[in-house]
Structure 1
């Protein structure tokens, strides 16, 4: 077919074929009747009919598409169905006459009609975000289809289509006439020229075979697995099948992925890896892949402009236009050399370029012992408090080092903390691809290799065939285009005579590329192949040490007890925190939504200073007489209700609960404790005994000692009794348990419960519940223990203690967590008569409980909470965040409820708001996606379907909005 015929076909509008025409044809020729709707297409008409038991698709194309082309599509579907692939493909349905392809004339137009089975499932295009494993599965589907078609043949495969990437150049040239936006037309033209330039030298080595050529997110159907993840398992629309370049099939798939990529071209790499694993590609094919992706995206955008010009009401084309523009923008945002290297790496090829030879050092007057390297990493001791947020901090620290030693340099390959960005959905570019050197002005610089001088303002480039050297800060008297030999002087370091000058140095293997100074962490390995270290060229080692995150995780798993779990299957290595933010070693910032231990926030300078001062003076045990233990005990007692004026100091919440139980036993003379089901109180033998959370202990209900008597958890959302009138039912459950204990002739020691149902995400107890339960417990001689470890200490905002919400006063309060802002610190607060009961069992001693350092830390925490009004902040910001989350609940059915108050909130996910089926797998996947977006969050609750929101109390409204925005993004785009 000549190009003129190709272009004429490309300009065809859809057939003039209505729903009424489709209804008539399906009834008359196929005997199908039922509701019908159009599915949309670029140049065809597709209609879905639901006959009741089954659904089918009627496909109408213009007669310009030859019969053998349609027969090739039909035979290809049959062929794939018989290949034994684990893939669904449509099945052809013959007409009542037995014909598979009907020639019909409608509204004066000759058309061809076919009916296929409809594949149930979700097209991937409906989901903005596709997880890496779904992207990989997408690539695997493309490979499976290509492999299945490898031995297929048919005369109808020799086609001349505008989508054939072998013709991308002339097709784009023709289509550009329809692009009326001059800026966009120029962008497409430039991209196509570069793409074709890269493809042409490789074209002869690219394999040709039958290819589907349209494995896109529109044409891959998926179903959800048991974990709630999409699994691509079906392929539709064989309308573009032809004999073409094998790698073009993958290029089409990867191009379609780019509108899911959030601007990241590396997003396609799991698909490349998966395709290559199933159907290995040659190095030349992989080198051609990115240029083909660019070409495909350019043709798509130009074709859409043309199609809208001839068929302006085509909703399918209108709907895809934004996606296609996004594909083009991402495809043209990345250098060809970067993506070629990334693709080869993803396919397992060794990334070795030509050996770089430097005949002379750039700075011949500098020796290794003169150079001082400046640490600007996440763990740098020179980065304190938030000075890393100062945009000039790197230069300030470098200049300070140079002033002390004469010559100082930053480090190549270092992840710089100063380039982090808090509250960012994407990881910032923190990996240094260059170095900056502070050294005496007028220091001579020479050409390390034969090169041509390129002047760009103050920027100087030494360009050769294999590498270019980019320099800033050189006074160079050479003209643009001057050829220099290795060892020739190229100038001197700029700066005032006798002063210090600054020199920026960067190498790049791609002479046509102006490289960035920094790379994103996930792209750093590839970028460092393109922009290698200047150490060899300088004759001085300027590289930062390699990170050891994976090796450290292996060491942790080898020597650190397995039951002490870590967050995430692939955890970031967190080494720094500031306020509500945490930072990994690559400079990625995360919003900390789970750390109720650090109540003040991370890295508080006043707390660090106070702890440091006390460590330098004294740290011992509480049997010694020192001021801090008396002062801190007084302050804790003052925070408790009247009558609770005796304090025990311990190291954790588990110890506090353990001691509280011992006090109840000693005071009552009995052992029996009533507790709540689904509660968690700690890990010691006693605190674990009263914990029945199956999330923390799957065998919790089987292993309770006889003295523990669990009762129904007063969960008013998913418990036995729900809503506003649930109190009576739950109180009755306690009364029945108490009666059971009484009938056995045993006495009662006490009752323990969180004042707010923390394990389930902060569900308030039913109104009046504790008042009635406490009265019943005390009537039988028991003590009432309020476990405030998670929910107390100002976190609720509206109350300092959780029990205040219920209008009760317990006999014993246990508290810990935020008391020490990370320092091991817990307390039991009770009455004197209860505390004295322990004397008959002997004295109580904790080696480090109530130590001077712990007490000073505890008092400083209280000071800062008061000075910075953190309880009020918890109330105000918590209320704001809860409103934001409740608004999400109005939009997304997955949100079953928003529990809690202040900065102790619970977001519960359910698959069905009537049955309350827990969305356990979805919650886990949401947490992984949130981590990608810069939010640390973990599932909790017995069903692991609750996001327990408990950030530091310095949490700002801006951070609350960022969290809500990211959660909205996940719920709307998928996970």
Structure 2
């Protein structure tokens, strides 16, 4: 039983000290004056003073705490600062008397007082989200402090403290008398009893040393890194320093982290891994860690309830109690075997599990050759379109497969697409820890090993010391508690003889655990150890192969050209799409908010059918005579303004721009081309030459050929001239560039610009900019090229072509991307005389441009856009989305502006709205965090500080709202 003095201390209220009292102490005992405010504490009083030159913290403690314990705290800080452990540590400050811990009388009571230097920075308690890197930093901080204190000695470390996890059981039980909710009291008591029970056989092997014992999100201070992410770099509040279990120091930190975990106990694993890397734990300590975390959670909740009963106005406790209740909920939600294995695995100390002993087949009447397997994964050909959304699809496919031989089985270990959840911020449990078998009713079942029968309604368990077998669908012929030997009959599959029956089979190594049927992907490796595959019970291999995403990525990096980048440093393996959703091989659904190539959405059945029919008939090149090329060319010409009646068909936007430049050269007879700074037009030699975006090519501005003449970027948000009144200044810059060319004896061949500043973030051009620039260019003999590859084809919603927003008609239009919905397809639309100019250079030919398949794709895309009103959807959903994004700008200073229209939007992040300093690192971190929350998003712009928001035009309003809600969550909770 804990010492009575210790238990009495748990009932002490905070010192009766006011702000006025603190002011007197600062003045009379330390000689400081300034602005004072109270800081939170559970049993002390803490005050912060700002003298103008420095900030200091006054701690007022009850006299019941011995002075030598307080002195140990000061000396521990001195010790760590002297070691220079790479962390900021407070420094004790002496009173005017020279004492570091004077005792003073306040309001008729005696208290100890201490003054410490204040560490600038922020605690992380209110930061809802902590990245894995920050979680790991917590673990490293604890290890640094524990390593530094290892050789520290002081008599004040031998102390009785309610927070000492060696005494957690009796302390918690004493505190429980203050918990008025009987159900909650019982839950805490049960949790503490289980934790102590698991700790007892390990206690003798847990090392004891000086520990801080309170390195929590309240007691570290953090400063922002380059991305604005707060990273721990200082430790405060040494009030709980004592001789204690080394692993308890880490347990306290891990428990504190759980209220940031969003319900996932695996969230703490980076901290454990980082601690273990710096200060290795032994096996017993690793096994004790989770019970200690549970014990800490129980003590926290019980202590807060008890403190509020004696000090109901304690704002510090009131502010933390919900966090502590969350910590307790997460800590008690995870089974001990799961967390013990996860912790051992994080420390690379997980032993191999022995194979389960199977003596007799469960269903000997089954012939392995007769078992048909279903495929319920993301790559299954049996899940076309959105059939995965059918809640009965698993059993439907199982029954269909059983029609062949009478027996079919699902596969253990497959990530089922049928359990995906679109528009979910957390990955769903998709990993199957069981198998379902469809087989004739009445099929006899036999015990595969010696076991005891456990009946729970229709649920049958065969329990043995090694493993338990969980069965649903057996009419058991035995009584609860009966013993069976391997090979004994246990019953038959429910259902009439000759009819269809269903059987669910699952193994579990823990006899006290009722395992889940599915595991979340991040927990699947550990759960599969606890619930091994039951396939051997059937005598047939029914396990799904594990995804090999990392192996595939390694192969990509080995053989695929490095300049052809992929999104994200650790990209999900995407193998299926539907509308605006993408699915990785783990069954995780992502909202695709960046894919302007797939304009119709992913997996459109009408397009797939049209392509299949055409491939089955003919696919060749456009030199042959066939209907599709004439029909598609005609339809494209009809979409362009009057006079633009001639079409070239190519494979991509880069080829389209390249061809457009050749047309300008051929028609004008001159090579000088004007292009805009910050623009991107493609990757071919010519299209890259007129691209000036330094985000795409850091050397773009120094490597342009002499025929390219970049002009001032008409960026009305962060350009040289800002706002709608900047048109004249930007047009004048074009006029000056033309004059410069002609002064050097040259002549203008053409001008190329995106009709909306797409790659810069969807920024609209200044009003009437193109009309005035086009007039200038034509006056000097050049052609006007509108690059509509990204912004055209209905994406703006309010206009089919981007140039319509400026009220102009170009001489040449380039288009690609969305017009093929992912099929390589591009086009140049121009006037007949311009197209004919190319004849002077010979004929033009694109091997696949205008092929029958490409033309059918192009026409089907246009049909679907018309029939499904996708341009109208782009306008309606786009306007709604822009309004919601603009509303975020009212709340979050990092939001600088929302550019664009329809479904081509750019959300620009800045560190300062006056200087417009780009928030480049923050934008990258925000995109990574959005991926965690199920949203595909990428940065754009020369500073990579703009979210390029250009989803498929079929995106639903619900999906747009989900995107905004997840973005709001990131901006609110952190990244």
Query: TM-score, normalised to structure 1's length?
Result: 0.99
Q: Give yes or no for the alignment of 1:395 onto 2:395.
A: yes
Corresponding residue of 2:336: 336
Farther off after superposition, 73-82 or 421-430: 73-82
Give SS of 1:125's match.
Answer: coil
Alpha-carbon separation, structure 1, partners of 2:613 and 2:349: 55
Q: Give yes or no for the alignment of 1:674 onto 2:670.
A: no
Give SS of 2:614's match.
Answer: helix
- 1:951-970 maps to which residues of 2 (within 5 A)? 951-970=951-970
Give SS of 1:302's match.
Answer: helix
| Residue pair 1:354, 1:466 contacting (<8 A) in 2 also | no
| Residue pair 2:229, 2:974 contacting (<8 A) in 1 also | no
- 1:31-50 maps to which residues of 2 (within 5 A)? 31-50=31-50
Corresponding residue of 2:865: 865
Q: Give yes or no for the alignment of 1:771 onto 2:771.
A: yes
Cα deviations across residues 542-601 of structure 1 (Å, max 9, x unaligned)? 110121111000000000000000111100000000000000000000000110000000
Give SS of 1:25's match.
Answer: helix
Give SS of 2:461's match.
Answer: strand
Alpha-carbon separation, structure 1, partners of 2:67 and 2:536: 65
Cα deviations across residues 398-451 of structure 1 (Å, max 9, x unaligned)? 110001122111000000000000000000000000000111211111111111
Give SS of 2:32's match.
Answer: coil
Corresponding residue of 1:850: 850
Alpha-carbon separation, structure 2, partners of 1:140 and 1:446: 52
Cα deviations across residues 336-378 of structure 1 (Å, max 9, x unaligned)? 1100110000010133234421111111222321222111111
Q: Give yes or no for the alignment of 1:455 onto 2:455.
A: yes
Cα deviations across residues 125-153 of structure 1 (Å, max 9, x unaligned)? 13111100110010010011111111111
Corresponding residue of 2:326: 326
Corresponding residue of 1:688: 688
Alpha-carbon separation, structure 1, partners of 2:243 and 2:132: 30
CA deviation after TM superposition for structure 1 residue 109, in Å: 1.5
Corresponding residue of 1:480: 480
Give SS of 1:965's match.
Answer: helix
Alpha-carbon separation, structure 2, partners of 1:722 and 1:939: 22
Corresponding residue of 2:927: 927
- 1:346-365 maps to which residues of 2 (within 5 A)? 346-365=346-365
- 1:878-917 maps to which residues of 2 (within 5 A)? 878-917=878-917
Corresponding residue of 2:80: 80
- 1:181-192 maps to which residues of 2 (within 5 A)? 181-192=181-192
CA deviation after TM superposition for structure 1 residue 469, in Å: 0.3
Corresponding residue of 1:788: 788
| Residue pair 2:40, 2:315 contacting (<8 A) in 1 also | yes
Q: Give yes or no for the alignment of 1:838 onto 2:838.
A: yes
| Residue pair 1:103, 1:112 contacting (<8 A) in 2 also | yes
- 1:93-108 maps to which residues of 2 (within 5 A)? 93-108=93-108
Alpha-carbon separation, structure 1, partners of 2:722 and 2:198: 67
- 1:433-582 maps to which residues of 2 (within 5 A)? 433-582=433-582
Farther off after superposition, 173-182 or 851-860: 173-182
| Residue pair 2:138, 2:271 contacting (<8 A) in 1 also | yes
Farther off after superposition, 79-88 or 625-634: 79-88
CA deviation after TM superposition for structure 1 residue 194, in Å: 1.3
CA deviation after TM superposition for structure 1 residue 890, in Å: 0.5
Cα deviations across residues 664-691 of structure 1 (Å, max 9, x unaligned)? 0000000000000010000000000000
Alpha-carbon separation, structure 1, partners of 2:26 and 2:730: 61
CA deviation after TM superposition for structure 1 residue 230, in Å: 2.3
Alpha-carbon separation, structure 1, partners of 2:695 and 2:834: 33
| Residue pair 1:341, 1:351 contacting (<8 A) in 2 also | no
Structure 2: which 5+ runs fail to align?
A: none
Q: 1:440 to 1:2 in 2, by over 3 A?
A: closer
Alpha-carbon separation, structure 2, partners of 1:874 and 1:29: 69
Give SS of 1:758's match.
Answer: coil
Q: Give yes or no for the alignment of 1:602 onto 2:602.
A: yes
Corresponding residue of 1:345: 345
Farther off after superposition, 737-746 or 962-971: 737-746
Q: Give yes or no for the alignment of 1:585 onto 2:585.
A: yes
CA deviation after TM superposition for structure 1 residue 534, in Å: 1.0
Alpha-carbon separation, structure 2, partners of 1:296 and 1:126: 20
Corresponding residue of 1:814: 814
CA deviation after TM superposition for structure 1 residue 159, in Å: 1.0
Cα deviations across residues 434-477 of structure 1 (Å, max 9, x unaligned)? 00011121111111111111101110000111210000011111
Give SS of 1:5's match.
Answer: helix
CA deviation after TM superposition for structure 1 residue 767, in Å: 0.5
Alpha-carbon separation, structure 2, partners of 1:833 and 1:353: 77
Cα deviations across residues 15-56 of structure 1 (Å, max 9, x unaligned)? 011111111111111111111111110010111111112111
| Residue pair 2:206, 2:284 contacting (<8 A) in 1 also | yes
Corresponding residue of 2:14: 14
Alpha-carbon separation, structure 2, partners of 1:969 and 1:14: 36
Q: 1:916 to 1:112 in 2, by over 3 A?
A: same
Corresponding residue of 2:273: 273
Alpha-carbon separation, structure 1, partners of 2:730 and 2:849: 37
Alpha-carbon separation, structure 1, partners of 2:786 and 2:597: 19
Alpha-carbon separation, structure 2, partners of 1:26 and 1:377: 68
| Residue pair 2:2, 2:171 contacting (<8 A) in 1 also | no
Corresponding residue of 2:632: 632
Give SS of 1:43's match.
Answer: coil
| Residue pair 2:2, 2:167 contacting (<8 A) in 1 also | no
- 1:672-821 maps to which residues of 2 (within 5 A)? 672-821=672-821
Alpha-carbon separation, structure 1, partners of 2:79 and 2:467: 50
- 1:291-440 maps to which residues of 2 (within 5 A)? 291-440=291-440
| Residue pair 1:27, 1:33 contacting (<8 A) in 2 also | yes
RMSD of aligned C-alpha atoms? 0.9
Q: Give yes or no for the alignment of 1:241 onto 2:248.
A: no
- 1:10-159 maps to which residues of 2 (within 5 A)? 10-159=10-159
Give SS of 1:469's match.
Answer: strand
Farther off after superposition, 483-492 or 219-228: 219-228
Corresponding residue of 1:936: 936
Cα deviations across residues 212-264 of structure 1 (Å, max 9, x unaligned)? 11010000111122343322111000001111111111110000000000000
Alpha-carbon separation, structure 2, partners of 1:450 and 1:208: 44
Alpha-carbon separation, structure 1, partners of 2:318 and 2:131: 26
Cα deviations across residues 745-783 of structure 1 (Å, max 9, x unaligned)? 211111000000111111110001011100100111111
Corresponding residue of 2:655: 655
Farther off after superposition, 261-270 or 181-190: 181-190
Alpha-carbon separation, structure 2, partners of 1:558 and 1:203: 50
CA deviation after TM superposition for structure 1 residue 502, in Å: 0.7
Give SS of 2:125's match.
Answer: helix
CA deviation after TM superposition for structure 1 residue 309, in Å: 1.0
| Residue pair 2:650, 2:656 contacting (<8 A) in 1 also | yes
Cα deviations across residues 50-86 of structure 1 (Å, max 9, x unaligned)? 1112111001111011101001101111111122310
CA deviation after TM superposition for structure 1 residue 190, in Å: 1.6
Alpha-carbon separation, structure 2, partners of 1:855 and 1:356: 58
Alpha-carbon separation, structure 2, partners of 1:109 and 1:684: 83
Corresponding residue of 1:194: 194
CA deviation after TM superposition for structure 1 residue 201, in Å: 1.5
Alpha-carbon separation, structure 1, partners of 2:955 and 2:207: 57
Give SS of 1:757's match.
Answer: coil
Cα deviations across residues 704-741 of structure 1 (Å, max 9, x unaligned)? 01110100110000000001211111011001001111
Alpha-carbon separation, structure 2, partners of 1:336 and 1:449: 26
